[in-house]
Structure 1
């Protein structure tokens, strides 16, 4: 079980406690936005100070330098997973002691590298695989971004990955906490229907660093502002009111639905376990 931290210490205590109650095996992983840790690492400190049996088995860091946190994570006994969007920061993550690297392509939903600097999963994964084979062959590699079925998993393995990290496809499952209206919209949206920009971060008051932005379904509110980013930053109040009213009403012409380009391969909302079995079987059949 893996969840990404976007809140503070109180949020982490509550959500991690619920995860411990729900997990039959106690094998829980916890993800952190690294640049947010630079502002406040109290949630990570709390997790790593738990009794050994309650600590996360893995910690995923993404969007920033993992170095200041890596040694303590490893000393806690947790596996360190680092998500990386370009080749340049890959050596930094390996030197920090990452046991698993996630190569996140710009096709991914939610936060990722912006359109100017982002890389496609198809080229990022084999380049990472080659670098790791030459410099850190014991480090595992996962592909992320645009993988939604067994074809994508098989392709990732053929490109040199050891596995895949699925986000959007598992977002569109029965167990997902995403709003039902957002999931149903995803079923009606093809792969042309998403966009990566800072629009929804501005509307949600999320002050992300410049290299990163946010992919979601390209709705009417996004289309209105996507070519007026500077104007939106300068005077966001009216647009925020429209957005917040949309969230309140479940109106996805204004509210965001966080999903990547793989949305075009999402045609149902199955249970997560059944979906993983289906993806595994399809990939195995293709790789025979």
Structure 2
């Protein structure tokens, strides 16, 4: 049974499920597979690398299904957005930072504007900018999010009430159909899912990362800035990243300022990566990583998530 919401009607998709546009893992094949499965595949445009976009955009654009692309607002220029819009995406999602330099371009191209928010101030701005969909991200999410954010359960309904009638997608700590059902019960029109889709057949992550996610536990995840500082990432300090454990976390936990002032430590990080002593990238993973136990095709996963959500909602309504 299809779960019809404002989100599914807006994009003409069967299920209220969207792929988080994760840089480095949500490539064209993964986005296309999610869309074929009846969700909305969002390509991980991240920093707007032109070569990467030139390779991955045609893959999802040729899928014949609704799709979109996501970018990091703080890290891109208008050229990256213009390049993506040439492929006629159904949606452009903007996350982390001020989306206003790009919103008029998206709307003028006829694409739906999706804005991810991590606090109520960002949610109000998203409404003012004319967002067609707002993603409310809780702190349980894998990868980057607000350092002083709120967890998904209390945050989503507050955003739903604040931005109505704009549809809201819940994000953070959702990795199975029960989480999708919970999002709908909170008033959201669907769920944006990341970590669960990293562990799929079409994901671009290294096999070692997929293995780590399948074997990972939520209690082993940690939100921090240490790894961004160590690897020289330019992420604004407002945003930390939830990852699985890492040797540099153990070494530099609660010593971020000291690490930032220590160029030798950052050079040592690069040397450790070059030798293969540590992975090239941290393993981004949310608190629901315990629920990730296999590596299915993404289209099959979308179908399974939707069926689980429908069953969970039906069970919740029984006497």
Same fold (TM over 0.5): yes
Aligned to 2:153: 122
Select 2:90's aligned residue among 57, 65, 87.
57
CA distance in 2, matches of 1:119, 1:255: 26
The answer for the alignment partner of 2:4 in structure 1 is none
Q: Deviations over 1:158-205 (max 9, x none)?
A: 011010000000011121111111111122221111111111211221
In the alignment, which residue of structure 1 is the partner of 2:82? 45
Name the count of aligned residue pairs: 273
How big is the shift at 1:18? 4.1
Q: Distance in 2 between matches of 1:94 and 1:172?
A: 33
Q: Any conservation in 2 of the 1:34–1:63 contact (CA below 8 Å)? A: yes
SS of alignment partner, residue 145 of structure 2: strand
- Equivalent residues in 2 for 1:167-178, closer than 5 Å: 167-178=194-205
- Residue number in structure 2 paired with 1:31: 70
Confirm or deny: 8 A CA contact 2:259 2:265 kept in the other structure. Answer: no
Task: After TM superposition, list the pairs within 5 Å mapping 1:1-288 onto structure 2.
Answer: 1=31, 2-4=42-44, 5-20=46-61, 23-25=62-64, 27-37=66-76, 40-48=77-85, 50=86, 54-114=87-147, 117-133=148-164, 137=165, 139-242=166-269, 245-246=272-273, 249=276, 251-252=278-279, 256-288=282-314
Shift, 1:250, TM fit: 7.2
Q: Flag as ranges the 4+ runs of structure 1 deviating above 6 A.
A: none
TM-score in terms of structure 2 length: 0.80
In the TM superposition, residue 15 of structure 1 has moved relative to its aligned partner by 2.8
CA offsets, 1:122-157, max 9 Å, x none?
Answer: 011010111123xxx1x1110000000011111111
Q: Distance in 1 between matches of 2:163 and 2:306?
A: 25
- SS in structure 2 opposite 1:36? coil
Q: How far apart in 2 are the matches of 1:26 and 1:109? A: 27
Contact 2:230 2:265 in 1 (8 A): no
Cα distance between partner residues in 2 of 1:77 and 1:248: 47
Secondary structure at 2:120 match in 1: coil
The verdict on how the C-alpha distance between 1:240 and 1:255 changes in structure 2, with shifts beyond 3 A counting, is: farther
CA contact (8 A) 2:141 2:171 kept: yes
Taking only aligned residues, the RMSD between alpha carbons, in angstroms, comes to: 1.9
Residue 28 of structure 2 aligns with which residue?
none
Per-residue displacement from partner, 1:213-250 (whole Å, max 9, x unpaired)? Answer: 11111222212112211111111433443455346637
- Deviation per CA, 1:81-113: give whole Å up to 9, x if none: 000001122111011111000001111111110
